[in-house]
Amino acid sequence: MTQTVSANAPEASRVLIFDTTMRDGEQSPGASMTLREKLELAELLEEMKVDICEAGFAASSEGDFQCVSQIAERSRDMVVCSLARSTLTDIDRAGEALRKAARPRIHTFISTSPVHMKHKLRMGENAVLEAIGASVTHARNYVADVEWSAEDATRTEFDFLCRAIDVAIRSGATTINVPDTVGYSHPAEYGALIRRLIETVPSSDRVVWSTHCHNDLGLAVANSLAGVANGARQVECAINGMGERAGNAALEEIVMALRVRRDSLPYETRVDSRKLSRASKMVSSITGFPVQYNKAIVGKNAFAHESGIHQDGMLKNSQTYEIMNPEDVGVPSTSLIMGKLSGRNAFRDKLKSLGYELEQASLNDAFRRFKDLADRKKHVFDEDIIALVDDQLAGAQERMSLRRLKVVAGTDGPQTAEIELVIDGQPSAAQSTGNGPVDAVFNAIRSLSPHAAVLELYQVNAVTEGTDAQATVSVRLSEAGLVATGKASDPDTLVASARAYVHALNKLEVRRSKALPAD
Ligand code: KIV
Ligand code: ZN
């Protein structure tokens, strides 16, 4: 099988990494990202040398339109893509949003499986083929780089799938994506499908073949790699495997599998793997979705060795129990522990090694907060510093912030919270009781900033070990279809809870004012 990979992939062995964290990833139930957070993530993706960033679905909302257009305007080398259904109006919105992109792509799709065509689209085969021709042709009026996806491809009849792809290629599609939309396929089957399509569809060598695998059976990464081994040269994936239901193929796993197993998977990506850990932390912090401890590549335990036999082996030679170096994914092997005696320069160096370059005022603020934390906590670990800085960056520019909190808790209720917030620069204070200290804190905040939002999630994680560990609290609020997640860290769980709640309210306020809908 020969395949000439066009436009975006100069070498036949190169696999393009298409990140969909901001589009399919944001469709994870409960995940939502603000414009500012998406811009920050897009910048990191560009730095990491991700090839294509699916920045959103421009026609779905004004918020998504703004995200796509602002990321498009700022991007340099990375292709910026907007999703569009097969309607002319969707494609017009995508084209408009991408107007300022250096390298724009429109990604248009329609379902091709019998179950989707009958029940979802209520369209017959001919109407679907017509829609494919019209949508791809229209997208080519805006951009030269057009991706077409056969939604639910793995449950589509093979002959019809070939006809649909043929129409897309003849109408000008440059990338053909074969989604396993419902995560139903398995590696041998998915690999064979990609191979057979490339062998059967006319002019298949003129396009880049792409995988888009969902993880409902836990096979998304394995299926994507099977696709690559059989001719696909683009993998659609998301950081931390975010995405609809069980998610998408995890970007970090795809990149590292291709890197570590080059012996039998002779393909490469351009991605700078040393930024994977940072990207994972950023996405987790933005969405409030914790990364499971034993998650491959980026989990807290991915490079931790517990048993005596393993530790002994590691001390003799790290290759005994490690197939990759932690540094290769951005995890420093030896962690310099910072404490209250650490100075400003050491702190600045530490921030740099963790991937942060702060301006002077921001650095001063972070250093002051670090000293404050070091006074209360014996060892300040990298994770503490990351939580502290992420928290500070998230807190900047917010309308409302916490100034003071005092809580009375214990067996003799009622639990009471006295709180002082600064709202639009003005201090205001309140006192409330509640069914437990967290409830008292949230009631006090609600009395100062009345709202109808419903608390959907309240989650506490320890950033590091020990009873003096910082707590990271995530709070998710929803109100009339709008969803916002707030996150904050502090050694005092109640302070972190108050700040996370305030952070979520600030985000909700932004969403309200822009009328950004739920994901
Ligand atoms: O899963 C899917 O089929 C999708 C398409 C829109 C590419 O996300
Ligand atoms: Zn998907």
**What is the per-residue DSSP string for 456-478?**
EEEEEEESSSSTTPPEEEEEEEE
Local confidence band at 242 (pLDDT 50, 70, 90 cut-offs): very high
What is the arithmetic mean of pLDDT over 5-13?
A: 58
Spacing, Cα 406 to ligand 1 middle (Å): 48
Among 117, 147, 149, 154, which is best to mutate for testing ligand 1, by the most ligand atoms less than 8 A from CB?
149
Residue 263 backbone zone (phi > 0: left; psi -120 to 50: alpha; other: beta): alpha
Give the strands of the sheet with 400-408, arranged side by side. Answer: 400-408, 415-423, 426-434
Question: Ligand 1: which residue has its CA nearest to atom 5?
Answer: 151
pLDDT at 317: 79
pLDDT at 144: 98
Cis preceding linkage at 414, omega within 30: yes
SS3 209: strand
Q: How would you write 50-79 as a 3-class SS string?
A: CCEEEEECHHHCHHHHHHHHHHHHHCCCCE
Spacing, Cα 149 to ligand 1 middle (Å): 7
- Cβ of 181 below 6 Å from ligand 1: yes
Residues 472-486 have pLDDT tens digits of 898 988 888 777 888
Indicate the burial class of 465 (C-beta count within 10 angstroms; 0-12, 13-18, 19 or more). exposed
Local confidence band at 513 (pLDDT 50, 70, 90 cut-offs): low
Residues 141-199 have pLDDT tens digits of 999 999 999 999 999 999 999 999 999 999 999 999 999 999 999 999 999 999 999 99
Measured distance between the N- and C-terminal CA atoms of the chain, rounded to whole angstroms: 41
Residues 56-103 have pLDDT tens digits of 999 999 999 999 999 999 999 999 999 999 999 999 999 999 999 999
Of 109 and 389, the one with more pLDDT? 109
Question: Ligand 1: which residue has its CA nearest to atom 1?
Answer: 181
pLDDT at 211 over 80: yes
Ligand 1 atom index nearest CA of 152: 3
What are the structure tokens assigned to 398, written together?
């917010």
- Cβ of 247 below 6 Å from ligand 1: no
Local confidence band at 389 (pLDDT 50, 70, 90 cut-offs): confident
- Cβ of 497 below 6 Å from ligand 1: no
Spacing, Cα 378 to ligand 1 middle (Å): 48
Spacing, Cα 211 to ligand 2 middle (Å): 10
**What is the rounded distance in angstroms from the CA atom of residue 269 to the CA atom of residue 348?**
32
- Cβ of 151 below 6 Å from ligand 1: yes
Distances in whole angstroms, Cα of residue 366 to Cα of each of 78, 169, 242, 385, 433? 31, 53, 30, 9, 33
Which contiguous run of DSSP H or E holds residue 504?
helix 493-514
Which contiguous run of DSSP H or E holds residue 260?
helix 251-260
Local confidence band at 3 (pLDDT 50, 70, 90 cut-offs): very low
What is the Cα gyration radius of the chain?
24
**What is the rounded distance in angstroms from the CA atom of residue 285 to the CA atom of residue 161?**
40
Spacing, Cα 151 to ligand 2 middle (Å): 8
- Cβ of 212 below 6 Å from ligand 1: yes
Spacing, Cα 180 to ligand 2 middle (Å): 8
Are β-strands 400-408 and 234-237 bridged in parallel, bridged antiparallel, or unpaired?
unpaired
Maximum alpha-carbon separation in the chain: 77
- Alpha helices by DSSP H, listed for 321-421, are 344-353, 360-376, 382-395
Residues 337-364 have pLDDT tens digits of 677 887 888 888 888 877 778 888 889 9
Residues 434, 442: contact at Cβ < 8 Å?
yes
Ligand 1 atom index nearest CA of 83: 6
- Cβ of 116 below 6 Å from ligand 1: no
Ligand nearest to the CA of 176: 1
- Cβ of 24 below 6 Å from ligand 1: yes
pLDDT at 24: 95
What are the structure tokens assigned to 131, written together?
């829609």
Phi, psi of 446 (to 5 degrees): -60, -35
Residue recorded with tokens 């294509």: 52
**What is the per-residue DSSP string for 300-341?**
TTTT---SHHHHHHHHH-GGGT-SS-GGGGT--SS---B-TT
Local confidence band at 239 (pLDDT 50, 70, 90 cut-offs): very high
Q: How would you write 134-196 as a 3-class SS string?
A: HHHHHHHHHCCCEEEEEECHHHCCHHHHHHHHHHHHHCCCCEEEEEECCCCCCHHHHHHHHHH
Among 52, 57, 212, which is best to mutate for testing ligand 1, by the most ligand atoms less than 8 A from CB?
212
pLDDT at 2: 37
Ligand nearest to the CA of 152: 1
What is the identity of the amino acid at 158? F
What is the arithmetic mean of pLDDT over 93-115?
A: 98
Strand partners of residue 81: 54, 105
Residues 441-461 have pLDDT tens digits of 999 999 999 999 999 889 888
Ligand 1 atom index nearest CA of 151: 3
**What is the rounded distance in angstroms from the CA atom of residue 384 to the CA atom of residue 391?**
10
Spacing, Cα 243 to ligand 2 middle (Å): 7
Query: For all residues of the chain together, what is the average pLDDT?
Result: 89
Ligand nearest to the CA of 179: 1
Secondary structure of the chain: what % helix, strand, coil (to 5)?
45, 20, 35
Residues 63, 70: contact at Cβ < 8 Å?
no
- Cβ of 148 below 6 Å from ligand 1: no
pLDDT at 301: 83
What are the structure tokens assigned to 135, written together?
């949508």
Spacing, Cα 326 to ligand 1 middle (Å): 32
- Cβ of 179 below 6 Å from ligand 1: yes
Please count the residues of the chain. Answer: 519
Question: Ligand 1: which residue has its CA nearest to atom 8?
Answer: 24
493-514 vs 62-74: helix crossing angle, rounded to 10: 100
Ligand 1 atom index nearest CA of 177: 7
